[in-house]
Structure 1
Amino acid sequence: MFSFMSMKKAVTTADLAKKLTTGITLLDVRTPAEYRSGHIKQAKNTPLSSIDTYTGNRKEVYLICRSGARSAQAYRILQQKGYQPINVRGGMNQWRGAVVRG
């Protein structure tokens, strides 16, 4: 049987770049060290290991990691908590925009 709940909402990094100007919530679920090595300016570091404690806005939450695997895990956790997650396919490996270090 087909389940709509099993379908993940996802965007490409190009789609994400367009959305960044609209004030979205973007969580970078990589480790703090990975985050410091280069992240999207608007991203808030919320490592996968602590994503279950996230208590932000319940509207759309964009999730990014290095390749898309950890953000997919975070997606499932946040969806179960009632959030509307959106996975960024390809993660930072596919991101071609500016990054901030530190």
Structure 2
Amino acid sequence: MFSFFSKIKNITTIELATKLADNIVLLDVRTPFEYRQGHIAKAKNVPLNKIAAYKEKTDQRIYVICQSGMRSKQAAKQLKQKGYDVINVKGGMNQWSGKVRGGK
């Protein structure tokens, strides 16, 4: 049962790094400009202002990242309301020390 007040799970960027070897769904909710500046290779860009329209069929957990963790938390709440199993990456790209890829 969904509760509007249910907590969004969080993981650190270090924990995220250990999961990237698996086939995970990682959404980067920053703007396309920010995304092109540098993103995690597996991340798919779905800006926060478009997250409400996200309709991918997935039984997988979705990891959400942004620059600092604020927008990803908002996105995670919206996705959770739609029934997705979501985890927010705290600290976002500000805390990410792994490789990044530029461009699309």
TM-score past 0.5 threshold: yes
- Give the drift of 1:7: 1.8
Runs (4+) of structure 1 moved beyond 6 Å? Answer: none
User: What is the identity, as a one-letter code, of the residue corresponding to 1:11?
Assistant: I
Moved more, 50-59 or 87-96: 50-59
TM-score normalized by structure 2?
A: 0.91
Asked if the contact 2:24–2:60 (Cα under 8 Å) also holds between the matched residues in 1, the reply is no
1:8-23 maps to which residues of 2 (within 5 A)?
8-23=8-23
RMSD: 1.5
Identity %: 57
Deviations 1:34-61 (A, max 9, x none): 0000000000000000001111214210
1:70-85 maps to which residues of 2 (within 5 A)?
70-85=71-86
Higher helix residue share:
1
Aligned length: 100
Asked if the contact 1:58–1:82 (Cα under 8 Å) also holds between the matched residues in 2, the reply is no
